[in-house]
Structure 1
Amino acid sequence: MTFLADGFRRVDNAVNLAKLETCLSLMERLPDFQTYKRTSYEALVLGPDSRVADLACGLGFDLPRLKQLVPGGGVTGFDLSDSFVKAAQRHVADVLGAADPSITVRQGDIHALGCDPALFDAARIDRSLQHIPDPATAIGEMARIVRPGGIVCASEPDWSSFVIGSDLAGISRHAEDAFRNGFLNPMIGRELVDLVGGHLAITHHSVHPVLLKRLADAEIIFDLTETLQRCVAEERIPAAEAGTFYADLEDRDKNHRFFALLNIHVVAGRKR
């Protein structure tokens, strides 16, 4: 099985890179994701000449938007994946119509970026600490690369808040647990305020619901079919019950009663 959380941990070795790109592209278009992202930009307190780093920048969707906020400054995207670095470079060129020397994308491990300290006025990371081995070290590295007085912002889901609406609550809980347990750090959202607060003075903390009302969207973002297949393979639920559960979701979707819900925490702190 090609499980999303597994793929995001090893992007360049992912069995189906297109699946990861499809997931990221859909999330980019959904209003609830756009809402918390705007909050994360605002929490950076950027000025027109600020230098900002976007860690684990993925396909690079945030890079041109950040550049709009710092017209006289610079934006640097970092990602461990060579595939994502190239994709982010292409996205920036496509949006801007040409290469912009003030927007760069570099390959780098968030645990040790290899750049000078105090190089940036602000740094952000979005939905990536959930996948990495040592989030505390990553936050420390973000604090290292911003100047004194600079801002670090992280946005992460709290997978304990993940709910799939269903008339079959017992099976739903198994599916929610199976998907949640695919992440290295499933509770990272609720842990952010302590992780960031261990290095910086907290300046912002907000929680944003992400509500999906279409089964097709939840299939892409929450990997529902793969999750149910994993539950059956691990003998958490019988195959027949998995089929009954999915049929219930399809019926709810047909009658506009389907929903899946997740909370995302946005936390920012200022370097002392």
Structure 2
Amino acid sequence: MKYFAHAYQNADASSDAELDEMRNLLGIMAAHPDFQAYKRISYDALDLKPDAKVADVACGLGFDLPYLKDRVPEGTVTGFDLSEKFLAAAEARINAVYGRADPSILFKQSDIRTIDSKPGVFDAVRVDRSLQHVSSQETAISEMLRILRPGGILCAAEPDWGSFVIGSSYPEIADKVVSAYAQALINPRIGRDLIDLIGSQTALTHHSVHPLLLKTLPDASRIFVLEDITARCQEAGTITSDEKIEFWQDLEERDASGRCFALLNIHLVAGRKP
């Protein structure tokens, strides 16, 4: 059974409709204050100098690239991503932001597990919510460290889907929906694993946990694709049609009374390469 999360794992094989939905969803996330808050801290954690060379690995649609470029006005930012379609959209986005192509913002198609770069090129390397979709996360971390110079900073931000909670008067149904979401991901608890994956190979410089708290049903439904997940649960027989109706009616009642929420924790970990 294909969940929407699977589209991120192979974006170039996705349909045009799925790509449009991913673009819309990623745009909504990028505009949300809780996402913006942890992202700003991730930029700070890179300890960037004005002339630094920065890699944004698995950069997706490139939302972070202009913010990183603002931190390194005399440096360069390179966005790596496996998806040709994402990179084309990211480059178009950059051109729209600056009104032209910026030669100091570069794009390279590359798998995170075999990054197309010489060793020790970058002063800082960043990855954001992408290791959850990647097999062999240890290899990905090793590759990011390989392209990082000694003394440079690796920073990763990843969700811990074991912390995912949906406020509901039907906790057993909510737990099944939450479980289905986690099962669609390759590394659903990568957030809590970052401290060991990065800390075992670097001198840790930062670890913080950032709640993504969505307090309206439209926000929670869009960002966590709840309609898709509950439909998949019903299709798989995890929940019944009546349970799905009860679950959604309760969410709507909670939203109307201001009691709706969905919560997910993002772990942000940074370390300095020896």
Q: TM-score, normalised by structure 2?
A: 0.97
Select 1:235's aligned residue among 234, 237, 252.
237
- Which secondary structure state, in structure 1, belongs to the residue aligned with residue 67 of structure 2? helix
* Corresponding letter in the other structure for 2:13: N
Q: CA deviation at 1:2?
A: 6.0
Corresponding residue for 2:11?
A: 11
Query: 2-side partners of 1:200 and 1:112: how far apart?
Result: 20
Query: 1-side partners of 2:226 and 2:120: how far apart?
Result: 42
Select 1:148's aligned residue among 147, 150, 159.
150
Q: Is the 8 A contact 1:125 1:154 kept in 2?
A: yes
Query: 1-side partners of 2:106 and 2:216: how far apart?
Result: 36
* Corresponding letter in the other structure for 1:14: S
Corresponding residue for 1:204?
A: 206
Query: 2-side partners of 1:86 and 1:220: how far apart?
Result: 24
- Which secondary structure state, in structure 2, belongs to the residue aligned with residue 68 of structure 1? helix
Corresponding residue for 1:224?
A: 226
Corresponding residue for 1:114?
A: 116
* Corresponding letter in the other structure for 1:218: A
Q: Is the 8 A contact 2:151 2:272 kept in 1?
A: yes
Select 2:57's aligned residue among 55, 67, 77.
55
Corresponding residue for 1:137?
A: 139
Q: CA deviation at 1:61?
A: 0.7
- Which secondary structure state, in structure 2, belongs to the residue aligned with residue 45 of structure 1? coil
Which segments of structure 1 move beyond 3 Å, counting only runs of 4 or more? none
Q: TM-score, normalised by structure 1?
A: 0.98
Q: Is the 8 A contact 2:155 2:270 kept in 1?
A: yes
Corresponding residue for 1:88?
A: 90
Corresponding residue for 1:41?
A: 43
Tell me, which stretches of 5 or more residues in structure 2 are unaligned?
A: none
Select 1:250's aligned residue among 244, 249, 252.
252
Q: CA deviation at 1:194?
A: 0.4
Q: Is the 8 A contact 2:108 2:116 kept in 1?
A: no
- Which secondary structure state, in structure 2, belongs to the residue aligned with residue 245 of structure 1? helix
Corresponding residue for 1:176?
A: 178
Query: 1-side partners of 2:76 and 2:187: how far apart?
Result: 31
Query: 2-side partners of 1:211 and 1:114: how far apart?
Result: 36
- 1:17-36 mapped onto 2 (5 Å cutoff): 17-36=19-38
Tell me, which stretches of 5 or more residues in structure 1 are unaligned?
A: none
Q: Is the 8 A contact 2:138 2:197 kept in 1?
A: yes
Q: Percent identity?
A: 53
Query: 2-side partners of 1:243 and 1:43: how far apart?
Result: 44
- Which secondary structure state, in structure 1, belongs to the residue aligned with residue 252 of structure 2? helix
Aligned residues between the structures: 272
Query: 2-side partners of 1:261 and 1:268: how far apart?
Result: 23
Query: 1-side partners of 2:132 and 2:145: how far apart?
Result: 18
